[in-house]
């Protein structure tokens, strides 16, 4: 699971603090433990050797051996004296490890920690020039108590170090993450369109450098976006102005072209063909100019709806009838479906969808009307080859034509883009898909509807 930067910083500081505390406390504990045990061991050996040197008097009889062992025994020590095969004292020889006795017999002062009754104790031994062996058993409980207290203090030190590390981590995370949070918030504001979002520069560290870089980048982005917006506005104004200026000469050209087309029957063959071509291209140019003006209205936000209560089925029939398509298009139009729409813009959408289906799809072309809760749904379908996977994502793009060989077709490539903009203006949607049985399907969803 992904964790936040604050959590990672706190965990990292805590780990560093704990590891450092454990290392220091552990090292101190081990060193002190060694010193305490060494002191206890040295004290036991020194007491044994001093006592033996003072008590060693011939002859080493059993009573003398008992006297020596008693002289070396106290609250913390129990001793045994051995000479030859005779021993006396309160310490059983079975407690003395054999290797320790061998070392003592060899003339060495030796010691070894042993476990007696589950308690760790120290056995030390020495010998005299006369051959007297003396062994002492000393409890290490005082040393163990000191070591236990030292261990408790080490754990307490580690706990305090952990608390201190966590507090330090929280303070560090707060100071480090505050500029990061501010940077993230500024980036979100900029992403939402606030190009004036800037950061306050504090200090001269790396985070301050990052804030300076962000501000410089934001300034450059603001300049570029402003320039792009200015260029886009100029381009839209240019298209609108050109389209507007072309309407008057195009109206005159269209009138002349219509006259020439009417007189084509009495003209020579080449002149008649030229007259018809001029008329067709003039009408195509007029449609393109009208489409460009419509697009410029959408881009500038000047497009507006003129709403009215519309009988949707009758509006669909009127649109088909006006273009002579009523007999070539199958319809399924339930009566009494009323919605508040702009009838002119609905007519534009239907003309584009049905016209495309008739020109580029396959028969039969159908138009179906359906009422869904809160929506009026109009479906235009054909039984042609459908839309390829490469065409579907771009079918509503401006000037996009699925077939590059139709680059000089009568269409401008703006019809479907205008149809979708009209749907959006109604707060509706227009989507394209392929029918499972073949053919393209365009679905127009407009809000409202009552029966």
Peptide bond just before 364 cis, omega within 30 deg: yes
pTM for this one? 0.50
DSSP of 326-384: TTTEEEE--S--EEEE-HHHHHHHHHHHHHHHHHHS-SPEEEEEEEETTEEEEEEE--S
Question: How far is Cα 317 from Cα 106, in angstroms, rounded to an integer?
Answer: 126
Using the structure block, give the residue that is written with the tokens 């580690």: 158
Torsion, CA 398, CA 403, CA 408, CA 412, rounded to 10? -20
Quickly tell me which residue has 């900029």 as its tokens: 190
Tokens representing 302? Answer: 């000047």
Helix (H) or strand (E) holding 134: strand 133-139
User: Using CA atoms, how far apart are residues 273 and 166, in angstroms rounded to an integer?
Assistant: 91
Q: Rounded mean pLDDT of 216-222? A: 85
- Stretch 10-25: mean pLDDT: 73
3-state secondary structure of 106: coil
Share of the chain above pLDDT 70, in %: 86
- Per-residue pLDDT tens over the stretch 163-197: 777 777 777 777 777 777 777 788 888 778 777 78
Residues 356-415 pLDDT 10s: 899 888 888 999 999 988 899 999 999 888 888 888 888 888 877 665 444 444 556 788
Across the range 31-46, mean pLDDT stands at 72
Higher pLDDT, 83 or 313: 313
Contact assessment for residue 133 and residue 105, using Cβ atoms and an 8 Å cutoff: yes
Mean pLDDT of 283-307: 75
pLDDT digits (tens, 9 = 90+) for 398-445: 877 665 444 444 556 788 888 899 899 899 999 999 988 888 999 999
Taking only the tens place, the pLDDT of each residue in 254-271 is 787 788 777 777 778 888
- What is residue 4's predicted lDDT score, i.e. its pLDDT? 64
Cα gap 61→87, rounded to integer Å: 9
Chain Cα centroid distance, residue 50: 76
pLDDT at 78: 81
The mean pLDDT value for 280-303 works out to 74
250 to each of 105, 255, 282, 287, 327, how far by Cα in Å? 131, 8, 7, 10, 32
Mean pLDDT for all residues in the chain: 79
Domains of the chain, start order: 5-157 (3.30.450), 207-300 (1.10.287.130), 308-447 (3.30.565.10)
User: Is 451's pLDDT higher than 60?
Assistant: no
Which of the given ranges, 29-43, 136-150, 198-212, 321-335, has the highest pLDDT on average? Answer: 321-335
> Given this model, what pLDDT does residue 405 score?
41
Torsion over CA: 400, 405, 408, 410 (sign) = negative
Pairing, β 77-83 against β 133-139: antiparallel
Question: Nearest CA to 435 among 383, 396, 390?
Answer: 383
pLDDT at 239: 65
């Amino acid at each position: 699971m992904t964790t936040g930067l604050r959590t990672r910083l706190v965990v990292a500081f805590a780990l560093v603090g704990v590891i450092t505390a454990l290392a220091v406390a552990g090292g101190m504990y081990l060193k002190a433990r060694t010193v305490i045990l060494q002191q206890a061991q040295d004290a036991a050996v020194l007491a044994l050797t001093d006592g033996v040197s003072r008590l060693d008097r011939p002859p080493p009889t059993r009573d003398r051996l008992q006297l020596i062992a008693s002289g070396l025994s106290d609250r913390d020590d129990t001793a045994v004296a051995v000479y030859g095969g005779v021993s006396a004292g309160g310490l059983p020889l079975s407690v003395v490890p054999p290797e320790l006795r061998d070392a003592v017999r060899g003339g060495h002062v030796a010691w070894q920690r042993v476990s007696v009754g589950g308690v760790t104790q120290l056995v030390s031994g020495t010998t005299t020039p006369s051959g007297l062996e003396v062994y002492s058993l000393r409890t290490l409980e005082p040393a163990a108590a000191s070591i236990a207290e030292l261990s408790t203090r080490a754990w307490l030190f580690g706990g305090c170090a952990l608390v201190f590390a966590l507090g330090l981590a929280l303070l560090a995370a707060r100071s480090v993450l505050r500029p990061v949070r501010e940077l993230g918030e500024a980036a979100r504001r900029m992403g939402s369109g606030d190009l004036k979002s800037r950061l306050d520069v504090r200090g001269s560290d790396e985070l301050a450098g990052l804030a300076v870089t962000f501000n410089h980048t934001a300034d450059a982005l603001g300049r570029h976006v402003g320039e792009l917006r200015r260029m886009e506005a100029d381009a839209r104004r240019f298209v609108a102005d050109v389209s507007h200026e072309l309407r008057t000469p195009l109206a005159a050209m269209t009138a002349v072209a219509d006259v020439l087309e009417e007189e084509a029957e009495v003209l020579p063959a080449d002149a008649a063909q030229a007259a018809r071509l001029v008329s067709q291209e003039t009408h195509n140019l007029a449609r393109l100019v009208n489409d460009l003006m419509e697009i410029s209205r959408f881009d500038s936000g000047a497009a507006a709806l003129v709403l009215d209560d519309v009988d949707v089925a009758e509006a669909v029939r009127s649109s088909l009838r006006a273009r002579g398509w009523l007999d070539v298009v199958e319809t399924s139009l339930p009566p009494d479906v009323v919605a508040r729409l702009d009838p002119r813009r609905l007519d534009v959408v239907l003309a584009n969808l049905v016209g495309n289906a008739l020109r580029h799809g396959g028969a039969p072309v159908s138009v179906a009307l359906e009422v869904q809760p809160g929506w009026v749904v109009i479906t235009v379908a054909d039984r042609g080859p459908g839309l390829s996977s490469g065409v579907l994502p771009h079918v509503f793009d401006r000037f996009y034509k699925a077939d590059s060989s139709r680059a000089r077709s009568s269409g401008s490539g703006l019809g479907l883009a205008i149809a979708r903009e009209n749907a959006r203006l109604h707060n509706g949607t227009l989507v394209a898909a392929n029918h499972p049985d073949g053919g393209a399907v365009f679905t127009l969803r407009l809000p409202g509807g009552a029966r």
